[in-house]
Chain A
Amino acid sequence: MSGETRPHSPAPGGGDGTSGEWEVVIGLEIHVQLSTNTKMFCSCPVTFGEEPNTHTCPVCLGHPGTLPVANERAVEYATRIALALGCRIADHTIFHRKNYFYPDLPKAYQISQYDLPLGVGGHLDVELDDGSVFPVGVTRVHMEEDAGKLVHAGGATGRIHGADYSLVDFNRGGTPLVEVVSEPDMRTPEQARAYLTQLKGLLEHLGVSDVNMEEGSLRCDANVSVRRPGAPLGVKTELKNMNSFRYVQRGLEAEIERQIAALEDGERIVQATVHFDPVTGSITTLRSKEEAHDYRYFPEPDLVPIEIDEAYVERVRASLPELPAARRRRFVADYGLQAGDAGILAANRPLGDYFERVAELSGDARLSANWVTGDLSAHLNSAGVGVEESAVAPEALAGLLALLGDGTLSSRLAKEVFQVMLETGREAEAIVRERGVGQISDAGELEEIIAAIVEANPGPTEEFRQGREKVLSFFVGQVMKQTKGQANPQLVNELLRKHLAG
């Protein structure tokens, strides 16, 4: 681990036991399924949720005599990930066989990488909610293949214990995976969650994966230990298969609590794989290190080494989109956005693209950012769709902002028009024209109304003239009532003062 990838200081909040402070050490191993068209070592399509065993072939079923052929696109995607994480790309990288028996692993070995991975020595700058940034070291980025899926049938639980029999679905078998292993640089479950969230954003940004934790295209294991500040690393446990961001944080919290409690009771932590049950919130030990597999790694003789030259690396590097960290900085510097808005827009590539388009068309970046991170995002979140599927195109939103800018619409009206745009997919201007929703910005028209109101309210008029500014809001209310809220507030203010002044 290089010095520069360490956090500057241990973040607080690791956990205080009754016997004093404990420091938590967390490292994450992320598996991400690549969204290539075909599998890692055969030409079957990569799919999700299809009929079991409909996307298999002799190769991914591990039939005798079949051989793997590495998917070039998968290597490219993996290289993108490694480069985006600032890794050094190996000029010579090879596959290894990881040997173990399980029914979802047809060859009884997983083709993976071992001591010559594709990328090493990177980092991810993770931004916390308070705007501070801490770097998490990335030990390695390597390629491998996914296993199939077991379906346990009969019995009550759907889990292996108590099942009458088990079936195997090999559709997923052979899907390209990239594993990203972090340094043990995180000190709190919140940091771990932030790292995971931002890594997910980065992978999404790179367009290399669906990164959906519920569907399993992004999976997370955590190594966690606790120690007294300044002491050597404690014994770690591995928290397996947490399938949501919330479970990662909750699982870590539960495991940290368990470890601290055990240590304070004078117990020893045993190196083990543990499982977090989100329903009960409890931790169970799956297997201890003593029972751990010996995977008998050795170089995969069926695949030739991958030699990666400088030109290839540069080609892939040039194809990378602007990365979130750089984009965040640019949004602040070029558009004058708040760090919070810039962070949200930079973390989501399509949303950031959308924002830039609106900003360009409307000429008002801050207003654009407010709308994209505010009303638009709120709608997208509640509808559960991405910005690509938004009913309101950037051009349309810019059109709405133009009406807001020239005073045709008030903020409140703009929000109403926006809702209609979302529902109908129509342009703001058309909606305003058709429904008469628009501010009365015609001074002559307003002046008539205001003159009549002033004349009808001699008492309040007198009060205002004696210096009671508050009375102004009474008049504004009257004007708005008469105009059904469509008067331009600025103009109303201006004209009222003129008329009230007599």
Chain B
Amino acid sequence: MFSLTARACRDLLGSGEVSSTELVELYLDQVERVDDRVGSFLLVDRDGALAQAAAVDATPRDERLPWEGVPIALKDLLCVEGMETTCASRILKGYRPPYDATVVAKLRAAGLIFLGKLNMDEFAMGSSTENSSVQLTRNPWDLERVPGGSSGGSAACVAAAQAPWSLGSDTGGSIRQPASLCGVVGMKPTYGVVSRYGLIAFASSLDQIGPLTRDVRDAAALLDLIAGNDLMDSTSVGLPAPLVMPTRTDLTGLRFGVIREFLGEACEPGVREVFDGAVAAIHAAGGMCEELQLPSVEKGLAAYYIIAPAEASSNLARFDGVRFGHRSEGAVDLIDMYNRTRSEGFGEEVKRRIMIGTYVLSSGYYDAYYTQAQKTRTLIADDFRRAFGRVDYLISPTSPTVAFGIGERTQDPLAMYLSDLCTIPANLAGLPAISIPAGLSHGLPVGLQIIGPHFSEQGLLEAAYAVEQRLGLSALPSIAEAGR
């Protein structure tokens, strides 16, 4: 049961084999069984979900929408009207948004059922979900290891079969890296394909919402549900055409570029081994692989850690205790209230990035940092453009390492930042990228990242589907099977 894809859930509902209530209860029971160990959920809306399910069950099957009654869980930075949404931060404790994010409204309209909100690094800043102010999330494959981040809860809940699928957000790899570490599929769409309205912003020019799923076809289905131009988000454009289910099984005629810069010493041998296996699988499916150099991508990490904090320092300034969220007691005046509220409300990593961002935007430093970083961003985009003149897709390991131990990198921010080495450039260039499970290294999942040109989602999903079929991976962590 718990290896179910969302499509399987849909089909079981459609055939009447299970009711939505039964389906929702199965997942809620699994959450109850394992979440004290995994820690994916910050909030489980048992009553709301069961009420929604009952309403679906009361509707005749032939009057239901295709996905009506299928459950989903949401990263806790997506606003759901009236449902506590905290970004795993003390500063938003108790905050109930007065509105639905556009993606939430779309899923609601499609009849999906919200199981609850998922843990994350505070304000999506981190690569292990250890920066959550609330709780740890543990990797379902090894509970002593991190699930990755920042969408750690979104990845872990799918891996541990606490939900058939989930939504996360990706600013520098926050969907793909945890998907890789938890052995699920995670996709960051082209910047602008999905509306950001109602996504609590980390870095506005980089953030995209995307699916975390058991397989590529579910990713295509969920992306199709949430994609679209939105009047509430001027930077949204949607997809050129609705997505159709990927069917491609051979890769004949497709050229894949292996990004050499991502196979350097930072890349673990075990990861390299699995990656080489994936390259062999692509060959076997008829695809051609060649190594490519993208000289500017190595500067991606540096540029990212200027641009993202710069935008974050401004985006997070609204958490000032005036209108919502935490307000410190006992302040003597306005400035004191700001200082205390923000000192108490934000965690260490968030404060670090606010300070970096404030610094790089300051008069006298702006050109040296922010302007340079933007130029680097342009160079990286140019590198990709040139590469896509030669190949159809670019591939790399999603993460240079498998899931690392809890606490292993918390004292070393730079080591933590390196987790996103391979994922950040796609955000800087606004490109779509997907991570699919490519195999296990010492029993831990390794992800393959495939990056495509802007708005190539359909083709990217087709290619990913073909590779997925060839790799034939369907392993689940034992905790996902516990309920069977």
Please, what's the 1-or-0 string for A101-137, where 1 marks a CB less than 8 Å from any CB in chain B? 1010011110000000000000000000000000000
Q: Is the CB of A301 within 8 A of B205?
A: yes
The answer to whether B362 and A294 have CB atoms under 8 Å apart is yes
Q: Considering only CB atoms, which chain B residue lies closest to A104 in the complex?
A: B322
- Cα of A168 to Cα of B323 in the assembled complex, Å: 9
Within 8 A of A (CB), among B262-321: 310-311, 313-314, 317-320
In the assembled complex, which residues on chain B have CB atoms less than 8 Å from the CB atom of A302? 201, 204, 233-235
Residues of B close to A66: CB separation below 8 A: 99, 197-198
Closest A-chain residue to B204, C-beta based? A301
- Could you tell me the distance in whole angstroms from the C-beta of B341 to the nearest C-beta in chain A? 11
Determine the chain B residues whose CB is within 8 A of the CB of A108 once the complex forms: 314, 317-318, 320
Known interface pairs A101-B317, A298-B310; A65-B197 also in contact (CB < 8 Å): yes
With contacts A65-B79, A298-B310, A302-B234 taken as known, whether A106 is within 8 angstroms of B318 at the C-beta atoms is yes
Interchain CA distance A109-B363 in the complex, whole Å: 16
A304 to B229 Cα, complex, angstroms: 14
Please give, as numbers and ranges, the residues of chain A lying within 8 Å of B323 by CB-CB distance. 61-63, 106
Asked whether A109 and B314 contact (CB < 8 A) given A64-B97, A65-B199, A294-B363, the answer is yes
Cross-chain contact B97 with A69 (CB below 8 angstroms): no
Residues in B whose Cβ lies below 8 Å from that of A67? 196-197, 232-235
Q: Does residue A58 face the partner (Cβ distance < 8 Å to B)?
A: yes
Interface size of A as a range: 20 to 34
A303 at the A/B interface (Cβ < 8 Å)?
Answer: yes
Q: Does A412 contact B (CB under 8 A)?
A: no
Q: Tell me, in angstroms, the Cα distance from A303 to B233 when the chains sit together.
A: 8
A99, CB-defined interface residue at 8 Å = yes
Q: Are A296 and B314 in contact (CB under 8 A)?
A: yes
Residues of B within 8 A of A303 (CB): 234-235
A63 touches B98 (CB 8 A): yes
User: Which one, A64, A65, A97, A101, contacts B338 given CB within 8 A?
Assistant: A101
Question: A69 CA to B310 CA in the complex, in Å?
Answer: 21
Residues of chain B with a CB closer than 8 A to A304's CB: 234-235
Residues A298 and B98 in contact in the complex (CB < 8 Å), given A69-B232, A69-B234, A103-B334:
no
* A70 contacts the other chain (CB 8 A): yes
CA distance A296 to B312 in the complex (A): 13
A-chain residues with CB within 8 Å of residue B203 when the two chains form the complex: 301
Chain A contacts of B101 at CB under 8 A?
65
Docked-complex contact B232 and A63, CB < 8 angstroms: no
Tell me if B234 and A298 are in contact (CB < 8 A). no
Tell whether B388 is near chain A: CB-to-CB under 8 Å: no
Chain B 207-251: CB-based contact to A (< 8 A → 1; otherwise 0): 000000000000000000000000111110000000000000000
Whole-angstrom distance between the Cβ of B197 and the nearest chain A Cβ: 5
CA distance A67 to B200 in the complex (A): 10
- A495 CA to B171 CA, complexed, in Å: 99
Known contacts A294-B363, A296-B314, A70 near B99 by CB under 8 Å: no
Q: A101-B338, A298-B366, A302-B235 are in contact. Are A63 and B314 (CB under 8 A)?
A: no
**Contact present for A64 and B200 (CB under 8 Å):** yes
**B449 at interface, CB cutoff 8 A:** no
- A305, chain B: closest CB distance, angstroms: 10
Instruction: Tell me the residues in window 397-412 of chain B with beta carbons closer than 8 Å to chain A beta carbons.
Output: none
Majority DSSP secondary structure for residues of B touching A = loop
Beta-carbon contact of A64 and B334 below 8 Å: no
- Contact call A64/B79, Cβ cutoff below 8 A: yes
A109:B197 contact, CB within 8 angstroms:
no
In the complex, are the beta carbons of B234 and A101 less than 8 A apart?
no
Contact bitstring A146-184, B, C-beta under 8 A = 1, else 0: 000000000000000000000010000000000000000
Contact assessment for A298 and B197 in the assembled complex, using a CB-CB cutoff below 8 Å: no
Measured in the bound complex, the distance between the Cα atoms of B316 and A99 in whole Å is 11
Would you list which residues of chain B between 351 and 398 have a CB under 8 Å from chain A?
358, 361-363, 366, 370
Q: Tell me the bound Cα distance from A134 to B187 in angstroms.
A: 63
Q: Is the CB of B322 within 8 A of A301?
A: no
Contacts of B464 in A (CB 8 A): none
A55 to chain B, nearest CB (A): 15
Assembly CA distance A67 to B236 (angstroms): 11
Bound Cα distance from A68 to B98, whole angstroms: 17
**What's the Cα separation between A301 and B198 when bound, in Å?**
15
B417 contacts the other chain (CB 8 A): no
| B178 vs chain A, min Cβ distance (A) | 21
Q: In the bound complex, what is the Cα–Cα distance between A69 and B98 (angstroms)? A: 19
List CB contacts (< 8 Å) of B430-479 with chain A: none
Chain A nearest CB, measured from B190 CB (Å): 15
Nearest-neighbor residue (CB-CB) of B91 within chain A: A64
Residues from chain B with Cβ under 8 Å of A65 in the complex:
77-79, 97, 101, 196-201
Report the minimum CB–CB distance from B9 to chain A (whole Å).
28
Chain B's closest residue to A70 (CB) is: B234
| Contact in complex: B322, A63 (CB < 8 Å) | no
Whole-angstrom distance between the alpha carbons of A296 and B314 in the complex? Answer: 9
Q: What distance in Å separates the Cβ of A380 from its nearest Cβ neighbour in chain B?
A: 44
Evaluate contact between B92 and A64: CB separation under 8 angstroms. yes
Whole-angstrom distance between the alpha carbons of A11 and B411 in the complex?
68
Q: Which residues of A contact B366 (CB under 8 A)?
A: 296, 298
Residues of A within 8 A of B99 (CB): 58, 63, 66
Which chain B residues border A64 with CB–CB below 8 Å?
79, 85, 87, 92, 95, 97, 200-201, 318-319, 324
* Given A101-B320, A168-B322: A296 touches B362 (CB 8 Å cut-off): yes
Least CB distance from A268 to B in Å reads 23
Contact string against A for B residues 182-205, beta-carbon threshold 8 Å, 1 for contact and 0 otherwise? 000000000000001111110111
Asked whether, in the complex, the Cβ of B98 is within 8 Å of the Cβ of A58, the reply is: yes
A304, B370: Cα distance in complex, Å: 19
Contact B314 A298 (CB under 8 A): yes
| Structural contact, B310 and A103, CB atoms closer than 8 A | no
Most buried by B among A66, A68, A297: A66
**Contact indicator per residue, chain B 101-114, by CB within 8 Å of chain A (1) or not (0):** 10000000000000
Per the bound structure, the CA–CA distance linking A302 and B324 in Å amounts to 22
B274 to chain A, nearest CB (A): 36
- A310–B366 alpha-carbon span in the complex (Å): 33
B336 to chain A, nearest CB (A): 12
B70-103 CB contact bits vs A (8 Å, 1 = yes)?
0000000111000001010000100101110100
CB-defined contacts of B201 to chain A, threshold 8 Å: 64-65, 302
- With beta carbons under 8 angstroms apart, the residue of A63, A69, A294, A301 that contacts B311 is A301
Can you list 23 residue pairs at the A/B interface with Cβ under 8 Å?
A: A58-B98, A58-B99, A61-B323, A63-B97, A63-B99, A64-B201, A64-B324, A65-B79, A65-B97, A65-B198, A66-B197, A67-B196, A67-B233, A67-B234, A69-B232, A69-B233, A99-B317, A101-B320, A108-B317, A168-B322, A296-B362, A302-B233, A303-B235
- List 20 extra interface pairs beyond A58-B97, A63-B79, A97-B314, CB under 8 A: A63-B324, A64-B85, A64-B97, A64-B324, A65-B101, A67-B234, A101-B317, A101-B338, A108-B314, A109-B314, A294-B363, A296-B313, A296-B358, A296-B361, A296-B362, A297-B361, A298-B310, A298-B361, A298-B370, A302-B235
Interface of A toward B, CB cutoff 8 Å: 58, 61-70, 97, 99, 101, 103, 106-109, 168, 294, 296-298, 301-304
